[in-house]
Structure 1
């Protein structure tokens, strides 16, 4: 094990083996152990044991304050989604007791698919019809999630007043950056106007449901043989709220037909944002007449989140180049918000 380029101190394979035995999973030596990369701060390792393949997911060796709780929430959602049409990683077993291995962890089946934000394989790269359909499949998978009964997740979120809280919550977050020495304050054209527009045009009500919370192209894995979404991944921000926020997030971050985007570029020939909305509307009984409002909210929220890294960079707590890049992305997002408005 020690020859592998993974942080083996984050995974005690003796403890893991004993725990898997208690779960009645196939025994034997751990084989084909390899890290799973992809930008997540969590530790993810793929391995086989007893002829079965698994991916283990756990917080980093030095976890953040809520890392274990976030993993518990992920496991709870994935357990609920296991017997639904939602394309999500199939959870095998979860250990929610952080004392077993020093952190919460769970096992899931590996996903046979690829991340389109990284690159396209064949036949996707050379078939425009497949690429166009990939966008529609992204919208379709989101409607599958929106139909799942959220009531088994009692206490998972606070849907009451969810939309009313959004603008004050994120303006408060932005105000909090002022505590970072060296940050001159937000230089974001259209900030106040966008906040006021969101408050004036906020939908009056919504039907609560499960939200992924970070639904964009880079958090989707597509099937290798066609346009189907093989899995929605990275459920760290999932909650119970307004599922149309996920649709807005998809619209706000979606690449334009020429492959450019505020966040994820490089993929050309995808369905347009208007086609995404049309597809979602055709497959869902949710009212999408305020789709632009949800897209503006996504631009607003994500822009403020990214501005936080710029503020930390001004205070010397993050690389200046990264801060400058994300500030530019924030400005692009607010410009995109004005276009939706």
Structure 2
């Protein structure tokens, strides 16, 4: 399978292709499910743009169309999907990124110290409306950063929509896909991203959920599995869920701001706007509920 940006791609999109190529080179020889890199080029010399060629992965990926059978009606059969998703994040988190040649791939130093200021500055370039909960969640995130964490590879948009499962039952994770937002940062944010609307606390997130999650294992079981595979503690997972919801809301608001600008007559149309508000509300709500969090 060939991945190459279109001729109209801007510098940022071309740079993302180079990052994906670098990451796939770095995953060579690891047990992270991914499409093996066959060839690639960082510049325009061969095909006129950065590109890479990777193995084809046979399987299926969850989407807004819902679960395929048997998972649509067999609720207990969904549990392996959740464990496989978390297992992929855990395997990625335990990769020795320096040994794999990815030193300098990201800026892990002071990762959490930079998050709030960086993303609020990003939001300020396109924000056009009030987002309730933004200030409360931002303040909480500033004062509840993890005391201890270990840098590692993070996907950046880790969720059911960005993985491929095998077609056998029970299924296995065939590959993690779409690495455009990958970096070296805190891999626990990937786990939280996957758990953004997890039951039961996320059961009221109707705008954010694109798949039904009935029958899924409890979060505690998934955290235990992640810890066992990755060797990392999930003690501060609620901080990461607050951060994941807050950050995703800011990222999606950019797309919604563009939509609203292009549809001035009906700026409230579309699900993105509601999703942003729901994510930020649930971020602030979870932050406010964490009475015993570290001050």
- Report the TM-score when normalising by structure 1: 0.76
Name the counterpart of 1:195. Answer: 138
Name the counterpart of 2:89. Answer: 142
Give the drift of 1:280: 1.2
Give the drift of 1:267: 5.0
Q: Do the aligned residues in 2 keep the contact of 1:260 with 1:266 (CA within 8 Å)? A: no
Distance in 2 between the 1:125 and 1:310 partners?
30
Farther off after superposition, 272-281 or 74-83: 272-281
Relative distance call for 1:320 and 1:107 in structure 2 (3 A) is farther
Number of aligned positions between the proteins: 281
Distance in 1 between the 2:220 and 2:267 partners?
34
- Report the TM-score when normalising by structure 2: 0.87
What's the Cα RMSD here?
2.4
Farther off after superposition, 270-279 or 258-267: 258-267
Distance in 2 between the 1:209 and 1:317 partners?
41
Name the counterpart of 2:278. Answer: 332
Relative distance call for 1:119 and 1:232 in structure 2 (3 A) is same
Larger radius of gyration: 1
Give the drift of 1:164: 0.5
Distance in 2 between the 1:336 and 1:176 partners?
24
Residue aligned with 1:114, SS? coil
Residue aligned with 1:252, SS? coil
Give the drift of 1:132: 1.1
Farther off after superposition, 64-73 or 295-304: 64-73
Give the drift of 1:229: 1.1
Name the counterpart of 1:240. Answer: 184
Alignment of 1:38-57 (within 5 A): 55-57=1-3
Give the drift of 1:273: 3.2
Matched, 1:160 2:109: yes
Q: Do the aligned residues in 2 keep the contact of 1:262 with 1:332 (CA within 8 Å)? A: yes
Moved over 4 A (4+): 253-261, 317-324
Distance in 2 between the 1:131 and 1:159 partners?
35
Distance in 2 between the 1:142 and 1:319 partners?
42
Q: Do the aligned residues in 2 keep the contact of 1:259 with 1:265 (CA within 8 Å)? A: no
Name the counterpart of 1:64. Answer: 10
Distance in 2 between the 1:258 and 1:312 partners?
27
Matched, 1:112 2:58: yes
Deviation string 1:138-188 (CA, Å, 9 cap, x unpaired) is 11111100111111112111100111000111111122225xxxx3x3x22
Name the counterpart of 1:43. Answer: none
Deviation string 1:265-293 (CA, Å, 9 cap, x unpaired) is 24542234343223212323212111010
Unaligned residue ranges in structure 1 (runs of 5+)? 1-54
Residue aligned with 2:232, SS? coil
Alignment of 1:1-341 (within 5 A): 55-117=1-63, 118-151=65-98, 152-178=101-127, 183=128, 185=129, 187-225=130-168, 226-254=170-198, 260=206, 262-316=208-262, 324-341=270-287
Farther off after superposition, 212-221 or 274-283: 274-283
Residue aligned with 2:53, SS? strand
